[in-house]
């Protein structure tokens, strides 16, 4: 595994700045909802977040207690992180007494 990682790093380091200039990125952030005591939230997906099956930025993954935040694709890391921050803040405001 270590040799594999070093080969990947060598390949990345060999890329020119021009080659990386057009890179686009997006983020998927998974979190578990917990209650005020820190236990896994057993409540349904918060209705204030919309449908977990159709929302383009907020969904569940393998369990109802998990929330996945999904950004669009951005040309800059700052724009991607700004969108993730806005989604995260919206979710936290809509969760009532639960936390991520």
Over the chain, what is the mean pLDDT? 89
Beta pairing class for 28-32 and 58-59? unpaired
Which helix (DSSP H) or strand (DSSP E) does residue 59 occupy? strand 58-59
Long-range contacts (CB closer than 8 Å, 24 or more residues apart) made by 77-82: 77/25, 80/25, 80/26, 80/27, 81/27
Taking the C-alpha atoms of residue 53 and residue 32, their distance in angstroms, rounded to an integer, is 17
pTM: 0.77
What pLDDT is attached to residue 78?
95
Instruction: Find tokens 């700052």 and name the residue.
Output: 78
pLDDT tens across 57-98, in order? 999 877 888 999 999 999 999 999 999 999 999 999 999 889
The domains of the chain are located at 23-94
- Confidence band for 1, pLDDT divided at 50, 70 and 90: low
Taking the C-alpha atoms of residue 98 and residue 2, their distance in angstroms, rounded to an integer, is 40
What pLDDT is attached to residue 2?
65
Share of the chain above pLDDT 90, in %: 50
């Amino acid at each position: 595994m270590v040799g594999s990682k070093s080969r990947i790093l060598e390949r990345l380091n060999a890329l020119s700045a021009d080659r990386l200039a057009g890179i686009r990125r997006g983020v998927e952030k998974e979190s578990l909802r917990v209650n005020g005591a820190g236990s896994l939230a057993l409540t349904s997906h918060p209705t204030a977040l919309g449908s977990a099956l159709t929302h383009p930025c907020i969904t569940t993954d393998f369990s109802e207690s998990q929330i996945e935040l999904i950004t669009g694709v951005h040309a800059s890391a700052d724009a991607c992180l700004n969108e993730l921050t806005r989604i995260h803040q919206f979710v936290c405001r809509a969760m009532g007494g639960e936390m991520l």
